[in-house]
Amino acid sequence: MITLVAAGLAVPVRAAEAAAPGRPPALPESGSGPAAFAYLCANPKDPDKSPTGACDTWRLVTTNGQILSVPEAVAWEKSRDSYEDGIRSFAISPDGTRVAYHRARDNRVVVRELISGKIWTIPYQVPTGSLASPLTLKFVRDGGQLTIFAGDTEVTTLVEVEAGTARRMPKGWVVLDADPDTGRITLQERSGMNVGPFRTVGGGRTVTAKIPIYARKHFIWGSFAARDGRAANLVPKEPPACGPDMTPVWLAVFSTRTGKMTTVKPRLPADVYRADVIDWLSPQEIVAAAGRERPGKTPDTTIGSYVYAMNVTTGASRLIAKLSTTEEVYRNSLAVGGYTTAPDRPAAGKLTKPGKRGCE
């Protein structure tokens, strides 16, 4: 169970909506937004605490604290594979004005503008329950471009939302950045636990750059975000196989054309146990979605509960948003957005003593 502070300001969850039995009100056709985050709740009556019953739809939380359900979006499907968690992707644009999801009634991926209610049907269709159904949706730069990664085929599709065009990327490569002005695309090869190279395509040239395996003595692992020829990654203390201890020890910045790396110590609160880079906020700052330890026996906060801006030169951080709800979030089904419109706010809050984690 995690409380709500969005866009850097304390925003109380509306009590009537938080306490009402059943689902929250459905997302209206228009006039809502901007969005701060979305999540699936864990049904306390389900033996596996799966998102069933009243928890079977995505909850969308706006920056003013309103909680809405999105019944037309595929939220969760029980998987035949015990290793799959069944979560279906939901994405929010960096400014919080658009959302993307897999629409249940026709199995199409759609982008929806929250204020106007305009819907763009993306030229991409997948049957519910098929092997390709677990999609990963992500906006690139703003709400104008969307990537769709199909896990079974390992193929990424880059979509120009308003133009309605779609391009398939080479198999095994994910899109990190797509510059709408120059047409330059930055990709990274998915290599499991290994760090795959960057590939930059633009101006009639293709450049491939190898990424180092280690930052100092620490294994580079986790998500990368790229913008204008640079990529960033938060390097954890230990690799995932160790338990893990995912405490960020380096903020690493790479040239996507040469692979050259620089590192700086991330200045995050001491109880952050994991943080993933999700975007660039400006040429000086990246956006990180973090989870922090709770004192006592309560569980750690979900990844993304805290959203920080981090300076890539100094490592200094500032809190953009603290995102939480009175319901228990199912696994790590927290979709973060709206961070580009958040005001400046120093990273603050009482620190707890970090516990022993991973290989310690």
Helices in the chain by DSSP H: which ranges? 15-19
Segment 235-279, tens digit of pLDDT: 999 877 656 688 999 999 999 999 999 999 999 999 999 999 999
Return d(Cα 99, Cα 139) in angstroms, integer.
9
DSSP annotation of 17: H
CB atoms within 10 A of CB 84: 13
Segment 36-89, tens digit of pLDDT: 999 999 999 999 898 999 999 999 999 888 999 999 999 987 765 544 567 889
> Edge-to-edge strands of the sheet including 272-280?
9-10, 5-6, 317-322, 306-311, 285-292, 272-280
The predicted pLDDT at position 256 comes to: 97
The HSE-up count of residue 322 (CA atoms within 13 Å, CB side) is: 19
Radius of gyration of the chain (CA): 20
Distance set, CA 186 to CA 182, 206, 245 (Å): 12, 10, 30
The predicted pLDDT at position 17 comes to: 37
The predicted pLDDT at position 282 comes to: 95
CB distance 35 to 63 below 8 Å = yes
The predicted pLDDT at position 350 comes to: 46
pLDDT tens digit at each of 360 positions of the chain: 333 333 333 333 433 333 345 789 999 999 997 999 999 999 999 998 989 999 999 999 998 889 999 999 999 877 655 445 678 899 999 999 999 999 988 889 999 999 999 999 999 877 656 554 578 999 999 999 999 998 878 899 999 999 999 999 999 999 999 999 999 999 999 876 668 999 999 989 999 999 999 999 999 999 999 999 999 999 999 877 656 688 999 999 999 999 999 999 999 999 999 999 999 999 999 999 999 987 766 677 888 999 999 999 999 999 999 998 888 899 888 999 999 986 544 433 444 455 665 543
**Torsion region of 69: left, alpha or beta (phi above 0 gives left; psi -120 to 50 gives alpha):** beta
> Edge-to-edge strands of the sheet including 67-70?
67-70, 58-62, 35-41, 329-336
CB distance 83 to 75 below 8 Å = no
Return d(Cα 11, Cα 66) in angstroms, integer.
9
The predicted pLDDT at position 1 comes to: 35
